[in-house]
Amino acid sequence: MLGKVEQGEADAGLVYASDVASAADRVEQVDALASEDDVTRYPIAALTGPGRSGEPALARQWVELVLSERGRRALSDAGFGVP
């Protein structure tokens, strides 16, 4: 939907705030009435076990980075709420 609004093919669209942040110079955000119950959650976990490939330590490092001050700042700068 964001692409349609950016290209002038739609007058408005309902998208995530993080999408608006990535296109801030091309679209205008209009806040809708919201509730604190309106939350999109993105769980994060380092998985191990059968069928999982890769290095578990690297996965744990990724989770630690996302939850660190640096990761939280990057998420906030991209328009996401802070974990």
How do the domains of the chain map onto residue ranges?
A: 1-39, 41-83
What percentage of residues in the chain have a pLDDT greater than 70? 88
Using one digit for the tens of pLDDT, what is the confidence trace for 31-56?
777 666 777 788 898 887 766 666 78
Q: What is the pLDDT of residues 66-76, one digit of tens each?
A: 999 999 999 88
Q: Which residues contact 40 (CB under 8 A, 6 or more apart)?
A: 16
Interacting residues of 78 by C-beta distance below 8 A, sequence separation 6+: 18, 21, 22
Residue 79 CB coordination number (10 Å): 16
Its pTM stands at 0.57
